[in-house]
Structure 1
Amino acid sequence: MRRAALRDDRGSGGVLALALIAVLALAALAAVTVGALLAARQRVVAAADAGALAAADAALGIHPGAPCAVAADVVAAHGAELVSCDVAGLVATIEVGARIVGMPVSVRARAGPPR
């Protein structure tokens, strides 16, 4: 009777190994997806920072053009969209938006002399 019970368990180790491999593959896929989303968000942050710096440079007269127009050009070059732009004196504050996997992401950035 003992022999029959052992034969019934044959192959169960292989099934368990396949299940563990599937779980590890799903965890790796989730980690890669989260990493890609964070990298895409960081690109939007970089676009906001670069746009705010460009607007502040234009406000200072270092770069020719209207500050908000210059910021819009820089943000568009990064693949994002300028949502709002406010220049008060030498301080530029902008908001940049983009869609990451269909979800809207909005980032604000400020550039100018220290407070």
Structure 2
Amino acid sequence: MAERPAPARPAPPRHAADGDGDRGSGAVHALTLTLVLGVLLLTVLLLGQAGIATHRAGKAADLAALAAADTARGLVAGDPCGTAERVARDNGARLERCELVEPERVVVDVRTTVALGGPLSRLGPARGVARAGPPEATGGP
């Protein structure tokens, strides 16, 4: 009679000590790294959006204050704060405050806001503040 082959023994279980415990961890690390880089990119983009809105609010405040100061000095006809509001609106901002500074009433303080969109809207609007008026006399000879 022919001998029967011995039944195959099952392979012994592999343990972490065998060096194969890290098998497949590269995919997990790649996914984790991709997620972290995505979150960082999103954070940088949101900070950039906030910075642009702040710059826009500051620019609108500067231009609105200059236009209002020219109107207050009589260089341009009209209401100084009405002019400031129009200039702020034309530059994508909303005029929050316009005040003629006493006693001469030719210096104008202006505050503007630009709304932040998306997830940044919870932080409130970006603000810009400016003051403009005629150059001061130096008192020189």
Q: Shorter-chain TM-score: which interval?
A: 0.7 to 0.9
The alignment partner of 1:51 has SS state of: helix
Higher helix share: 1
Q: Which of 63, 67, 91 pairs up with 1:50? A: 63
1:106 paired with 2:108, answer: no
8 Å CA contact 2:68–2:83 kept in 1: the answer is: yes
Max radius of gyration: which structure?
2
Q: How many pairs are equivalent?
A: 115
The alignment partner of 1:56 has SS state of: helix
Instruction: Give the alignment of 1:31-70 within 5 angstroms.
Output: 31-70=44-83
Q: How many Å apart are 1:3 and its aligned residue?
A: 6.0
After superposition, give the CA deviation of every residue in 1:39-96 in whole Å (9 maximum; x if it has no partner).
1111111111110000011122222211111101001112222122112332111122
Partner of 2:39: 26
Letter in 2 for 1:46: K
Letter in 2 for 1:110: R
Higher strand share: 1
Letter in 2 for 1:12: S
8 Å CA contact 2:53–2:114 kept in 1: the answer is: no
After TM superposition, the structure 1 stretch with the greater mean CA deviation from structure 2, 2-11 or 28-37, is 2-11
After TM superposition, the structure 1 stretch with the greater mean CA deviation from structure 2, 102-111 or 74-83, is 102-111
- CA–CA separation in structure 1 for the residues paired with 2:32 and 2:71: 59
Partner of 2:106: 90
Q: Cα RMSD between the aligned structures?
A: 2.1
Superposition TM-score, scaled by structure 1 size: 0.85
Structure 2 residue runs without a partner (length 5+): 1-11, 137-141
Superposition TM-score, scaled by structure 2 size: 0.71
Q: How many Å apart are 1:15 and its aligned residue?
A: 1.4
